[in-house]
Amino acid sequence: MSHFPFKVLAVDGAARAGVLHTHHGEVPTPAFMPVGTYGAVKTLTPGELADAGTRILLSNTYHLYLRPGAELVGRLVGLHAVMNWDRPILTDSGGFQIMSLASLARVDDDGVTFRSHLDGSGHRFTPELAVRVQELLGTDIAMCLDELVSPRSDKPTALKAVERTLAWAHRCLRARSSEKMALFGIVQGGVFPDLRAHCAQVLGSAPFDGFAMGGLALGEEPGETWQAVETSLLNLPEARPRYLMGMGTPSDLLDGIQRGVDLFDCVMPTRNARNGTLFTRAGKISIRSASMKEDKSPPDPECSCFTCRNFSRAYLRHLFLTREMLGFRLSTIHNLSYYHQLVSGAREAVFSGSFASYRKEVEGLWVDQESLL
């Protein structure tokens, strides 16, 4: 039995509303996790995150391993203490950044050797080290080290990566020493439904506390993405949480929730905020546009976030045009609030059995139907 019980409290079709227990408290699901790469969700304090509705955040093992270093975070009594955040933290395993950011990554059956994207220094990650680093960080939910392949890979390549991912997942399970840390297996398999199904089945028969779906939205067709998600979900145990890694347009969230996804993360709300793109109930707006120049209304008139309660589109536009960091902050607060409101609205709809109409209502308000895809 898992030390980290997950309870599905309601279903509506395949959509689920639940609660995930962690060493740092409960997370109502579905939940969206903002990305705090270096132990900070860019521009925000922990209090602002909580006010925006964040119940769990994601941080990046690869980045923290390089700066400030996992041993140092450990001596500083873990990431929660360092960043003064007392709610749950999920960390990825570092595998994705090693493959996408680091130089000269070479995978073998035992692990992966790579060079830092910062200074070219040489490093090696194994499944055991990925677990050890996440334990030093003090994460609540750790991810297994996995091997990621391009969606353009052929089937033998994808199969080989699945076999390594499965072998590494079992090594991670054995390596875990902290009872405070949940461990999720990651379903790989590229765009091949039978590989996804196989990977999900094997992982599902092992005592992971939850499961992630990785290697998606990397250039394959949306139809392929969602087929891979559906196949993975169908072959994973229903009683444990399912996390769709790195995908997070508003449409993605609704698509995922409808299919039974419980956890999401994405840089989209925070990165877009810093680019001046704000999510509103009527669709995306560009806060820099000339039409905002004299607009005294808040970014989203229906939103009750700190930014919308206190500041106008005209002021935000001015802050962006003068490159004032306050503009990045206020936009980040709003976008995260939008995401959390979207997801908590979906959760309530699942409880009342009205997810389909909730989704229709939300999408019906998007002025440009493409705008939040």
> Which residues make up the interface to a copy of itself (CB under 8 A)?
38-40, 42-46, 63, 67-68, 72, 75-76, 82-84, 293-294, 296, 310-312, 314-315, 317-319, 321-322, 324-326, 328-330
Burial of residue 354 (number of CB atoms within 10 Å: 0-12, 13-18, 19+): middle
Planar angle of CA 296, 299, 304, nearest 5 degrees: 105
**In the complex with a copy of itself, which residue's Cβ is closer, 9 or 81?**
81
**In the complex with a copy of itself, which residue's Cβ is closer, 304 or 310?**
310
- State the minimum distance, in angstroms, from the CB of residue 318 to a copy of itself: 5
- State the minimum distance, in angstroms, from the CB of residue 315 to a copy of itself: 5
The whole-angstrom separation of Cα 232 and Cα 158 is 15
- State the minimum distance, in angstroms, from the CB of residue 64 to a copy of itself: 9
Within a 13 Å sphere around the CA of 176, how many CA atoms are in the beta-carbon half?
26
What per-residue string of b and e applies to 288-316 under the rule 16 or more CB within 10 Å gives b? Answer: beeebeebeebbbeebebbbbeebbbebb
Q: For 282-350, give the DSSP string.
A: TEEEETTSGGGTT--S-SSTT--SHHHHH--HHHHHHHHHTT-HHHHHHHHHHHHHHHHHHHHHHHHHH
The whole-angstrom separation of Cα 225 and Cα 214 is 10
- State the minimum distance, in angstroms, from the CB of residue 168 to a copy of itself: 28
- By annotation, the residues acting in catalysis are 92, 265
**In the complex with a copy of itself, which residue's Cβ is closer, 233 or 316?**
316
Q: Dihedral of CA 50/52/53/55: which sign?
A: negative
**In the complex with a copy of itself, which residue's Cβ is closer, 251 or 277?**
277
**In the complex with a copy of itself, which residue's Cβ is closer, 43 or 258?**
43
The whole-angstrom separation of Cα 120 and Cα 116 is 5
Beta-bridge partners for 35: 58
**In the complex with a copy of itself, which residue's Cβ is closer, 127 or 138?**
138
Write the DSSP symbol of residue 360.
H
- State the minimum distance, in angstroms, from the CB of residue 296 to a copy of itself: 6
Write the DSSP symbol of residue 249.
S
- State the minimum distance, in angstroms, from the CB of residue 286 to a copy of itself: 17
The whole-angstrom separation of Cα 221 and Cα 228 is 11
Gyration radius of the chain's alpha carbons: 20
